[in-house]
Amino acid sequence: MATQRVRVDDGVELAVRVHEPSREAVTADVRVPTVVCVHGYPDNASLWDGVVAELAGRFRVVTYDVRGAGASDRPRSRDAYLLDRLAADLAAVVDAVSPDGPVHLLAHDWGAIQTWHAVTGEWLRSRISSFTSISGPCLDHAGHWFRDNLRRPSAWRDLARQAAHSAYIGFFQLPVVPELAIRSGVLARVLRRTDPAEPAPVKADAVHGLNLYRANMLRRLGGPGERRADVPVQVVAPTGDAYVTAPLQSGVERWVDDLRVRRISGGHWVARAEPRRIARAAAELIDHVEGGTEARSLRRSRVNPRPVGRFAGHLVLVTGAANGIGRATALAFADEGADVVLADVASTTEVAGEVRARGREAFPRSVDVSDAEAMAEFAASVVAEVGVPDVVVNNAGVGVAGSVLDTSVADWAHVVDVNLWGVIHGSRLFGGRLAERGEGGHVVNVASMAAWLPNAVLPAYSTTKAAVLHLTECLRAELAAHGVGVSAVCPGVVRTSIAATARFAGAGEDEQAGRRARSDRLFARRNFAPEKVADEVLRAVERDRPVVAPTAEAKVTNVLSRFTPGLLRAAARRSSA
C-alpha cells in the first residue's frame, strides 16, 4: 500500500492510500481498472478495509479520508463542507491517482451523496467508468422524491417511513447539543444500537462532519436541481438500513439512463459487516463495463433500460422438471425471461429444447433428489457453473396409495425419501446459499391439498405433504431475516402423470395397472392443467405468498381444515369403512 497527500484548491490536504493489485492481475497488454472508494459519516477510510481485501487482488483500489475525517485536514468553516467543495476533492483525488484513464467509483453514505453530486456535475466528466452507490442518495434527487411523493397519497407511507428514519438530520441542525452528544459518547451508543457493525466513531471526525449536514441538507432538499448521470450506476440498497430507506435510494430512474438497483439484506454499515457482498456487486459492474459478460445478477437488477419479462435475468431451478407441474413451471418462468436449471431423474432434454426455443438458457441436469450426497454435489456444481438460483422450486414427488397397515416399510421409505427428504435437501442446500448471497430470492416447495386432508387412501403421501407444508412454514420464518421468501404450493387434483405412475400398496402386480388407469382417468376428468398451477407458482414468488391453494378443492379443503376439522375426520372414517 502506498500513501500520499493530495492538496486541493483551498489548501486542504487529503490522506490517500493506493492498494496495488496482485502481480497475477497485472499483464502488459491489459489495463487494470482503478476503483476509488469514498466513505461517509462518521467514518474514515477504514470502512473499506474488508472490501479492499476482496478487491485488491484484481483491481487497483484507492481509499482516502474525506476532509474532516481521519488523517485528512479538518477545516473549521462550514462552507468548506459544501457539496461543490467535496466534489472538487474527489476530482483532485481521481486526477492524482489516475491521470491517464477513467476510474470506477464505490461510495457509501455521505461518500455516496458527494459522489452523486460530482458524477452529475462537471467535475468528473469523461473521467468515470461506473458508479456503485450504497446508502446515500443524491440530495437533489431526494428533494424531488419528497416533492413528487407528497402529491401521491399512495406514496405517503414511504414518505412517513423515511421521515422517521431521517429524524436525526433535524437534531444535527441544532447548535451545540449534537457536539455534546458526540463528546459524551451518546452518539456512539445510539449508532451501535441501530447497527452493531459501526464501531465508535472518532469524536473529532464526528464533530467536524456535522458540517456536512449543516452546510448542505436544507439548501439542497429545499431547492433541488436537475442532475443527470451519464455513466452506468448501480444502487445497492440494504433492506435493513436504519437511516436511508430503499425507496428513497432506488427511485432515481428518471435521472440515470443506465441504472441497476440491487436490494441486499443488511444494515446501513453493510460494507463493514458484509464486505464480500459489496465487493461482489461492485466487481460485477466493473467487469461488465470493462468489456466482460454481464452477470445474470446485473441483468436481474437492471432498471434502465428495463428488461422484458417479470423474471428477466433470473435463474430458476426446478426439480421434477421433466413433466407435469415441474415442466409447466419451468416453461412459465422461461416465458417471463428466466433461465432455467432443469433437474430430474428422467431426461429433461425435450423440456430444455422448449426453454431454448423461448430464447432462454436451459441447463438440464440428472439428479435423484432423495440422495443426500448426490444433491450436495448437484448444488455445488450448479452454483459453480451457473450461479446461485434466484428461485428454487422443489417440485419432485412420487405417489403411494394404500392404507397405513398395507404400506410396506420400503414404500414408506421411498415416498419419504423423495417427497420429504428431496424437499429438505433442496431447501437446505439452496436456501443456505441464497441467505449467504444476501440479495433476496425465493424457495417454493410443492406440497398438496393432501397436507390438510386426513384419509385412509393416501396416508403416506399425505404425511409427507403435511411435513413439507410445515417445513415450509418453518423455513419461511428462518429465511425472512435474509430477505428470502418461501412459499408452499398445495394443489389438488391436477392433470399430470403422478396417478399413472403411483404405487398402490397392498395390491398385486396385476392389480396395479388397473388402479393406475382408474386414478389417471379421474385426474383427466378433473382436467385442471399443470400450467394453471405454474401460474400460481409465479404469483407466489412475485407476491411472496406463504401458502397457495391453486385448485377449488384445495381451497375448500384448506378452509375446512381450519374451521371444521371434525368434518374432515368423519369423512376419513367413512372412506376407510
**One-letter amino acid for residue 208 of the chain:** H
Q: Which residues fall within 8 angstroms of residue 6, CB to CB, at 6 or more apart?
A: 13, 14, 16, 64, 92, 93, 96
Alpha-helical (H) ranges within 123-195 are 139-150, 156-165, 167-172, 177-183, 186-194
Of 341, 296, 378, 328, the residue nearest 531 (C-alpha): 328
Catalytic residue flag (residue 41): no
Q: Which of 64, 81, 213, 461 is catalytic?
A: 461
Whole-number Å distance between alpha carbons of 272 and 192: 13
Residue 5's Cα: distance from chain center in Å?
Answer: 39
Q: Which residues fall within 8 angstroms of residue 540, CB to CB, at 6 or more apart?
A: 444, 487, 489, 548
Whole-number Å distance between alpha carbons of 526 and 533: 14
Name the phi and psi angles at 394, rounded to 5.
-85, 95
Task: Decide: helix, strand or coil at residue 331.
Answer: helix
CA distances from 323 to 319, 342, 530 (A): 10, 11, 9
Count of CB atoms within 10 A of residue 464's CB? 28
DSSP tag of 457: S
Whole-number Å distance between alpha carbons of 450 and 447: 8
- What are 320's three cell numbers? 421434477
| Residue whose cell numbers read 433500460 | 305
- What are 572's three cell numbers? 376419513
Whole-number Å distance between alpha carbons of 190 and 207: 15
Q: So which residues are the catalytic ones?
A: 461
